[in-house]
Each structure stands twice: as C-alpha cells, then as structure tokens.
Amino acid sequence: MKTRKLLALLGILFLPGFALAQKAAQIVEFVNPATVNPPKGYSQAAVVDLGTCRMIIISGQVALDKNGSLVGKGDFTAQADQCFQNIKSTLESVGGAMNNVVRLGYYVTDMGQIQALRTMRDKYVNVSNPPTSTLVQISKLFRDDVLVEIEATAIIPNK
C-alpha cells in the first residue's frame, strides 16, 4: 500500500516535468545538414518554433567545407566566404534564405581584416536592411589556421 502511494506521489511530482520536456522537444529541433561539416558534440543549428515563425540559431561557422577541409588557408577573404556559404546552406536546408538573417556575430583574429569581412558580408546580406551584428577580435580560434568564425540567427515566417 505504501508503495502505491509513493508511486502516485512520484507521478504527481514528475509527470508535469515529463510533459514540459515533451513540449520542449516539439518546440526545438536540432539539425545538422549534409551540406556542412558534421560537428562533434554539438548541432549546427537549432530551429525554434515560435508559432508564427521559426527562429534559426546557427552555430559559429568556420571555413571548413562539408568534408572537414579548411578552405582558404592563410586567406581571410576566402575563409569568410566559406563561413557565409555554410550559413547560407544551413538556412536553405531548413527552408530559409540569407534575407532571413537578423543577427550576425563575428570572431576574428585580426581586426585589420574588417574591410574584407564587410565585402564578403555584403555579398550575402541585404545591404539596404542589414542584420544586427557584433564583431570581436580574439587571440585565437580552435585551430591556428582558422582566421574567422561567424554565427547567425534568422527568423523565417511560417507559411
């Protein structure tokens, strides 16, 4: 009898938590498109269902192609271009486009490359209505030969 009461009490205490976890699982979908390098220990993007739209949060992208090879060793412009290509293909894999980007975050090892970064950015975003952004110079990224990392957030209206 005591066991049944204990189980009933545990059900009352933990069932709402299980229901919330189920609901959260329906709100957020983690994706790893085949067009970008498969990550180890994280997801390339999270798709968050906001009802009337979806928010896409894209992990920081570096200049690795879909096979994991570095594009543009020693070439900041080529690396920035590959970062934007990765962001673009990730967005397209979930039904979005670069015009849906509302925020960009940049991590660069050399602030002297800001004009090259702006030139690449302007190839991909709506320059008449650009997204918000943050630019930070850092001493090092996860590899010595990686010069830039770019993360993005996009909002895609539901149809």
* Higher-scoring residue by pLDDT: 13, 114: 114
Confidence of residue 123 (pLDDT cuts 50, 70, 90): very high
Residues 78 and 70 sit within 8 Å (Cβ to Cβ):
no
Percent of the chain with pLDDT over 70: 84
Does the structure show a pLDDT above 50 at 139? yes
Distance CA 15, CA 148 (A): 45
Q: How would you classify residue 41: left for phi > 0, otherwise alpha for psi between -120 and 50, otherwise beta?
A: left
CATH of 27-157, one of 3.30.1330.40, 2.70.98.60, 3.40.630.30, 3.90.1300.10: 3.30.1330.40
Does the structure show a pLDDT above 80 at 10? no
pTM of the model: 0.84
Backbone dihedral angles phi then psi of residue 154, each to the nearest 5 degrees = -130, 155
pLDDT at 15: 53
Q: What is the mean pLDDT of the chain?
A: 89
